[in-house]
Chains A and B, each alone.
Chain A
Amino acid sequence: MTDHLPVLQVIIPLLAAVLCAVVRRGRITWAIALATTWASFWIAIQLLMRVRVEGPISYALGGWLPPEGIEYRIDLVSAFVLVIVTATGAIVTPYALKSVEREIDAAKIPLFYAAFLLCLTGLLGIAVTGDVFNVFVFLEISSLSAYTLISLGQDRRALTAAYQYLIMGSIGATFIVIGIGMMYVMTGSLNMADLSVLLAELGPNRTVVVAFGFLTVGISLKLALFPLHLWLPNAYTYAPSAVTAFIASTATKVAVYMLLRFFFTVFGAAFSFDVMQLDKVLLPLALIAIFTMSLVAIFQTNVKRMLAYSSVAQIGYIILGISLASVTGLTAAILHLFNHAMIKGSLFMAMGSVMYRVGSVELEAMRGLGKKMPLTMAAFVAGGFSLIGVPLTVGFISKWYLILGALEKGSWWWTVAALVLTTSLMAVVYIWRVVEAAYFQDFPGEEGAVVEAPYALLIPTWALIVVNFYFGIDATFTSEVAGSAARTLMGLAP
């Protein structure tokens, strides 16, 4: 049984999604989703523990041995991403019950959970697989279901946002297939480990360079790297609250994982950074993303949109860590995958509670909520602290590593560290705008019109906040895993 955990990680949510589509009873499908996400979370933890002790796990799908057969390969990076995705799923599903009943038609709820589980399947599949074409298939499974989930938003702009995302996402995915096809032309292999050997033997080659370019652009579209982030703000703003919390915490993170997998495992750090000079492209884009998107976030009047722009900036931090091309930088990037998932998950869930009670997430709607919904707004403030990077929160840990990584690089890199600190201050400004409205302005409506959010929403939100502080105070576990994962990617450890 335990030998088959890698494939069960994908199969269980896939079958559960089909079950949800057949059962068609709102609460029952929710229970199925809850059981599935927690089972997946348990499997992910098991896998992480095993990888830490025994090293990478290779699983031959259907007994067909790699490189001919499809291989599921789990190393520290993929196990860590599996934990991020399943943990978010396990916390968002209990939250979804009430939130989704409020925001989505009762008739559509069973299909909502089916799409949700399909999305989970796709995201987990990308992290599990060791086959490049399999990555594309899982990418499309997760993307198509994500488009559907986003289109379920109440506002009609959710439809145009989903359409926009579909067009941009499909362009990205098609670029990725073209890149994979060109690698296949040159090597005749689709297995990642095999490809890395064959590509290294092949040496510099124009087709491989073109494949590299297509993959870079395709994956950058998926992970919303500035300036390819245009699909993201609308999608996050108009999607149902539970969907935003889930997608914001997982989809872009898994795309970053794809970036790491292709550039470090398949092409190899030496080719990506020494030959292709990828860092020279990523670094300026990351810096522009961090600065301009933090600036744009300050001027938003819709809090979900503000957090969406902040997400693009946070992805900039992750890409900045990668573009440092050092173990410390990579550690910061991998740590921030986890940390940002927890931060944005909790912030979007707090906004979902506001949506549940007030029906709007405009800044105006926040007025006086500090008194009316004290626990929800306290969660938002706590998550905000983490986003800013106040000590004792996870946000501080990732920025600490990021600044360390930048300073390690040499003389002029303190400017990058300074930019990271400046943009943290910008985060103070946009979080403060919500705090100002919630705590220092009077509630405009009638007394008793708005009460605290139900516990079904509060408990998951606060669970994530506790995670934020727990791993902010004791980061040994996360930073150790991220550190060894970074060394594995750089080829310094098995």
Chain B
Amino acid sequence: MNVLGLVNYWAFVFLMMVGFYILISQGNLIKKIVGLNIFQTSVFILYISMGKIRGGTAPILTEGDPIYSNPLPHVLILTAIVVGVATTALGLSFVVRIHEAYGTVEEDEIHDLDVATASGEAPTLGVGA
């Protein structure tokens, strides 16, 4: 198998696994968002790599008969980047409000506070609500 020739795809798999692992293993809400970002970025590499042809040029009509790279995956991934930005922004704004309401961004501490709420030891209403 041509390992070096597929280097982009190996990068995709590596980044995907790194991002996914951070998402699962981290208890810090901000680090989770970072993991999600890496996870989503890996997909960008997948799409961008598949559109590229070695020696291919941008799809602009010129003299002769050049090989064109496929522009569509790049366009698709522009959309996905926008979606990624929106997701990150929304996720971080949730983290800000969670920090206002709970005073922490650690998942286990939030869990303890919720358990305390459920047993009636703490106020139910959040500051941000």
- Which residue from chain A places its CB closest to the CB of B47 in the assembled complex? A181
- Which residue from chain A places its CB closest to the CB of B101 in the assembled complex? A156
Report B88-128 residues with CB < 8 Å from chain A CB.
Answer: 90-91, 94-95, 97-98, 101-102, 110, 114, 117, 124-128
Task: Please tell me if the beta carbons of A163 and B126 are within 8 angstroms of each other in the complex.
Answer: no
Chain A, interface residues (CB within 8 Å), range = 20 to 34
Task: Please tell me if the beta carbons of B86 and A163 are within 8 angstroms of each other in the complex.
Answer: no
Task: Please tell me if the beta carbons of A174 and B40 are within 8 angstroms of each other in the complex.
Answer: yes
B18 within 8 A of A: no
B80 within 8 A of A: yes
A166-B90, A177-B80 as given contacts; A155 in contact with B39, CB under 8 Å: no
CA distance A174 to B23 in the complex (A): 13
Report A136-173 residues with CB < 8 Å from chain B CB.
Answer: 136-137, 140, 144, 147-148, 151, 153-160, 162-163, 166-167, 170-171, 173
A144-B86, A178-B46 as given contacts; A159 in contact with B114, CB under 8 Å: no
Residues from chain A with a CB closer than 8 A to the CB of B128 are 156, 159
Task: Please tell me if the beta carbons of A166 and B94 are within 8 angstroms of each other in the complex.
Answer: yes
Residues from chain A with a CB closer than 8 A to the CB of B90 are 144, 147-148, 166
Residues from chain A with a CB closer than 8 A to the CB of B110 are 160
A184 within 8 A of B: yes
CA distance A184 to B76 in the complex (A): 11
Residues from chain A with a CB closer than 8 A to the CB of B125 are 154-156
> Which applies to chain A's interface (DSSP): helix, strand, loop or mixed?
helix
Binary interface encoding of chain A residues 174-191 relative to chain B, with 1 for a CB under 8 A from any of its CBs, else 0: 100110010011001000
A168 smallest CB distance to B (angstroms)? 10
B128 smallest CB distance to A (angstroms)? 7
Binary interface encoding of chain B residues 28-63 relative to chain A, with 1 for a CB under 8 A from any of its CBs, else 0: 010010001001100100110010000000000000
A355 smallest CB distance to B (angstroms)? 14
A224 smallest CB distance to B (angstroms)? 18
Q: Which of A154, A155, A178 contacts B43 (CB 8 A)?
A: A178
CA distance A379 to B128 in the complex (A): 33
CA distance A420 to B35 in the complex (A): 41
- Which residue from chain B places its CB closest to the CB of A163 in the assembled complex? B94
A391 smallest CB distance to B (angstroms)? 39
Task: Please tell me if the beta carbons of B97 and A151 are within 8 angstroms of each other in the complex.
Answer: yes
Residue in A144, A148, A153 whose Cβ sees the most chain B Cβ within 10 Å: A144
CA distance A158 to B129 in the complex (A): 9
A154-B125, A156-B129, A159-B97 as given contacts; A181 in contact with B50, CB under 8 Å: yes
Task: Please tell me if the beta carbons of A162 and B94 are within 8 angstroms of each other in the complex.
Answer: yes
A439 within 8 A of B: no
B83 within 8 A of A: yes
CA distance A373 to B114 in the complex (A): 31
Task: Please tell me if the beta carbons of B129 and A166 are within 8 angstroms of each other in the complex.
Answer: no
Report B1-36 residues with CB < 8 Å from chain A CB.
Answer: 16, 20, 23, 29, 32, 36
Task: Please tell me if the beta carbons of A163 and B39 are within 8 angstroms of each other in the complex.
Answer: no
Residues from chain A with a CB closer than 8 A to the CB of B20 are 171
Task: Please tell me if the beta carbons of B87 and A144 are within 8 angstroms of each other in the complex.
Answer: yes
Task: Please tell me if the beta carbons of A163 and B91 are within 8 angstroms of each other in the complex.
Answer: yes
CA distance A181 to B45 in the complex (A): 11
Binary interface encoding of chain A residues 121-137 relative to chain B, with 1 for a CB under 8 A from any of its CBs, else 0: 00000000000010011
Task: Please tell me if the beta carbons of B129 and A154 are within 8 angstroms of each other in the complex.
Answer: yes
Residues from chain A with a CB closer than 8 A to the CB of B76 are 133
CA distance A177 to B80 in the complex (A): 9
Residues from chain B with a CB closer than 8 A to the CB of A185 are 50
Task: Please tell me if the beta carbons of A166 and B43 are within 8 angstroms of each other in the complex.
Answer: no
B27 smallest CB distance to A (angstroms)? 12
CA distance A177 to B70 in the complex (A): 18
Residues from chain B with a CB closer than 8 A to the CB of A157 are 114, 117
- Which residue from chain A places its CB closest to the CB of B76 in the assembled complex? A133
A153 smallest CB distance to B (angstroms)? 7
A167-B32, A170-B36, A171-B23 as given contacts; A155 in contact with B86, CB under 8 Å: no
CA distance A154 to B101 in the complex (A): 11
CA distance A170 to B37 in the complex (A): 10
Residues from chain B with a CB closer than 8 A to the CB of A140 are 83, 86-87
B55 smallest CB distance to A (angstroms)? 19
Task: Please tell me if the beta carbons of A170 and B79 are within 8 angstroms of each other in the complex.
Answer: no
Task: Please tell me if the beta carbons of A159 and B50 are within 8 angstroms of each other in the complex.
Answer: no
Task: Please tell me if the beta carbons of A163 and B98 are within 8 angstroms of each other in the complex.
Answer: yes
CA distance A330 to B98 in the complex (A): 42
Q: Which of A156, A166, A171, A174 contacts B126 (CB 8 A)?
A: A156
Task: Please tell me if the beta carbons of B86 and A166 are within 8 angstroms of each other in the complex.
Answer: no
Residues from chain B with a CB closer than 8 A to the CB of A154 are 125, 129
A140-B86, A157-B114 as given contacts; A166 in contact with B39, CB under 8 Å: no
- Which residue from chain A places its CB closest to the CB of B39 in the assembled complex? A174
Residues from chain B with a CB closer than 8 A to the CB of A178 are 16, 43, 46
**Chain A to chain B contacts (Cβ below 8 Å), 5 pairs:** A140-B87, A156-B126, A156-B127, A158-B126, A177-B43
Instruction: Point out residues on B near A: beta carbons under 8 Å.
Output: 16, 20, 23, 29, 32, 36, 39-40, 43, 46-47, 50, 70, 73, 76, 79-80, 83, 86-87, 90-91, 94-95, 97-98, 101-102, 110, 114, 117, 124-129
Instruction: Point out residues on A near B: beta carbons under 8 Å.
Output: 133, 136-137, 140, 144, 147-148, 151, 153-160, 162-163, 166-167, 170-171, 173-174, 177-178, 181, 184-185, 188
Give 8 new A-B contacts, CB below 8 A, not counting A137-B83, A155-B126. Answer: A156-B129, A159-B128, A167-B32, A167-B36, A171-B36, A177-B43, A178-B46, A184-B73
